[in-house]
Amino acid sequence: MKKMFIDIDYGFTPKFGQIVCGDVFLSEKIKNENRLIAVLSDGLGSGIKANILANMTATMALNFTINDQPIERSAASIRDTLPVDPQRKIAFASFTIVDTEFDGQTRIIEYGNPQFLVFRKDKLLTIDHQFLADGEVSITEFQTQIEDRIVLFSDGVSQSGIGRKDMPFGWETDQMGGVISQIIEKDSGISAYELRKRIIGQSILNDIGKPSDDITCAVLYFRNPRKLLVCTGPPYSKNKDEEMAATIRDFEGRTVLCGGTTALIVAREWGEEIEVDMKHFTSDIPPISYIKGVSLVTEGILTLCKAAELLKHGNYEDVDRHDPARLVIQELLSHDHIDFLVGTKINEAHQDPSLPVELEIRRNVIKKIAYLLEKKYLKEATLKYI
Amino acid sequence: MKKHTVVICTGTLCHVLGGSELPSLGQSLPEAWRDLVNIKGSPCMGYCKDGAMQPPFVEVNGELIQEASVSKVLDCLEKHIAHGTKEK
């Protein structure tokens, strides 16, 4: 069986008026077992209390699953551990656990959450659910294929719009499945990030801008790995310039160049013009440029540092749509394997200690970004120095 | 009619040393000049490699301005427009 890449992304919006979301999504890739485990948990109620319940549940569920504990025991342990709500006298947080191997063998365990959806290309699949003896926990096993998508969501999504005249029972599964099918039909390669954004956007719309519950959606998209090359910094020795330019030209996939000098080298080697975009700019980092044959050209260290910060805090959607750092992040997050080609020449002009801002060393920033991509965004990153 | 050409360096060093406002030069141009001036950017003009010169750098019709600011560039442009110097 061919190894697939799982593109995974999730997003959430707290209930209107809350600052913390009561749903928690955790995931972990276990490289040496070729396995990915993801957990979505929805805590009772909303706000901080719900978030703590959900966090405890998700963490336990994730670790029990990683250690191959039988599900009956895990579920019992989770229920015994959760603090009891003093008003409702119950301890409750629902969960969905996805345990999948990179060859597609998938097991999904559900307790209390709305049922997950599986799409094969743009068709919604019907899958049998088997319930455990207690009648509450269900286990589903199936084989995924390339171009399958698993959509997990909290009840904030399926109940969005509830009580509205045109959707009295909220966003029902049939309706929702139809909408998602249409989205995939229109854009067959839509990334996990884009798809979950569309689903969450629609849920918020259903609630007319004021979510009546925490809304969380996660998408797992099984696909052939997409490759991206990020090239930054001039090579240590000038006679490697040609090699760097050739690597970018011959790369199968999209390419990003970060660095003014780097861009000049590539343009010179290729005999192409560089045009700087003077229409869109932000005040904290320099504008992007265009070179024929390169997907994105930005300034180097300032843009990368900003991108690293935004990736770390996950708030890249708050910045302007044309912000170069956001454009870099969009490229990074819509790909699976990211190769970094890092030039190691030190820019003497940046070494002046009297400079007003800290200009970090390129290699360190790239290492930070690669680490975040692997740990937080579950991508695969390779670093090569030139 | 040939236009006056302004080239703004958008390199890292020029940006951190006071050049961050320069790309918005177009917005500060007087209405009457808009058709006379062509504003371009450069990823790095390379002057920063020479330690003796002070960034940020802007070129107006090939004339280099050091420690450039929006007002300095406008002054220089005014001179060029008044003398009718056109792009070579």
The structure tokens 């895990």 sit at A74
Closest A-chain CA to B18: A356
Distances (CA, A) of B14 to A150, A214, A261, A290, A304: 48, 45, 13, 19, 17
For residue A208, pLDDT beyond 80: yes
Q: Average of pLDDT values for A7-26?
A: 91
Cβ <8 Å between B17 and A260? no
Out of A164-173, B21-30, B37-46, pick the least confident: B21-30
Are residue A99 and residue A208 in the same domain, yes or no? yes
Out of A173-177, A242-246, B48-52, pick the least confident: B48-52
Residue among A154, A170, A171, A162 nearest A218 (CA): A154
- Given pLDDT bands bounded at 50, 70 and 90, which one contains residue A4? confident
pLDDT at position A3 is 67
- Given pLDDT bands bounded at 50, 70 and 90, which one contains residue A358? low
Cβ <8 Å between B43 and A264? yes
Out of A175-189, A263-277, A284-298, B18-32, pick the least confident: B18-32
Q: What angle do CA A252, A254, A258 make, to 5 degrees?
A: 125
Residues of B in contact with A297 (CB under 8 A): 43
**d(CA A298, nearest CA chain B) in Å:** 9
Closest in A289, A297, A355 to B16, CB measured? A355
Instruction: Please give the residue that has the higher pLDDT: either B84 or A58.
Output: A58
Are residue A301 and residue A351 in the same domain, yes or no? yes
Are residue A215 and residue A276 in the same domain, yes or no? no
Closest in A263, A302, A349 to B15, CB measured? A302
Q: Average of pLDDT values for A140-146?
A: 90
Report the amino acid identity of residue A200: I
Are residue A94 and residue A35 in the same domain, yes or no? yes
Closest in B15, B24, B51 to A286, CB measured? B15
Q: Average of pLDDT values for A21-44?
A: 89
Are residue A242 and residue A205 in the same domain, yes or no? no
3-state secondary structure (DSSP) of residue B53: coil
- Given pLDDT bands bounded at 50, 70 and 90, which one contains residue A167? confident
Q: Cα(A8)–Cα(A66) distance, rounded to whole angstroms?
A: 18
Instruction: Please give the residue that has the higher pLDDT: either A80 or A133.
Output: A80
Are residue A143 and residue A249 in the same domain, yes or no? no
Q: Which of A204, A223, A242 represents a domain boundary (last residue)?
A: A223
CATH code of the domain covering residue A40 = 3.60.40.10
Residues of B in contact with A300 (CB under 8 A): 12
Are residue A123 and residue A261 in the same domain, yes or no? no
Select the highest-mean-pLDDT range: A83-87, A327-331, B22-26: A327-331
Q: Which of A223, A253, A288 represents a domain boundary (last residue)?
A: A223
Are residue A158 and residue A188 in the same domain, yes or no? yes
Are residue A265 and residue A216 in the same domain, yes or no? no
For residue B38, pLDDT beyond 90: no
What percent of chain B is modeled with pLDDT above 90? 0
pLDDT at position A97 is 93
Are residue A211 and residue A232 in the same domain, yes or no? no
Residues of B in contact with A302 (CB under 8 A): 12, 15-16
A38 Cβ contact partners less than 8 Å away, ≥ 6 residues apart? A8, A25, A26, A27, A28, A97, A98, A152, A218, A220
For residue B85, pLDDT beyond 60: no
Chain segment A248-284, per-residue pLDDT in tens? 888 888 999 998 889 989 898 888 888 888 887 788 8
Map out the domains of chain B as residue ranges: 4-67+76-83
Cβ <8 Å between A359 and B24? no
The CATH fold of domain B4-67+76-83: Glutaredoxin (3.40.30)
- Given pLDDT bands bounded at 50, 70 and 90, which one contains residue A91? low
Are residue A189 and residue A281 in the same domain, yes or no? no
Are residue A201 and residue A244 in the same domain, yes or no? no
Best B7, B14, B16, B45 residue to mutate vs chain A (most A CBs within 10 Å)? B16
Distances (CA, A) of A96 to A16, A54, A65, A141, A149: 24, 11, 11, 13, 16
pLDDT at position B87 is 47
Q: How many domains, in total, are found in chain A?
A: 2
Domain of A286 in residue numbering reads as 227-385
For residue B83, pLDDT beyond 90: no
Whole-number average pLDDT of chain A: 87
Q: Which of A223, A244, A259 represents a domain boundary (last residue)?
A: A223
Is the Cβ–Cβ distance between A213 and A229 less than 8 Å? no
Counting one residue from chain A and one from chain B, the pairs whose CB atoms sit within 8 A come to: 72
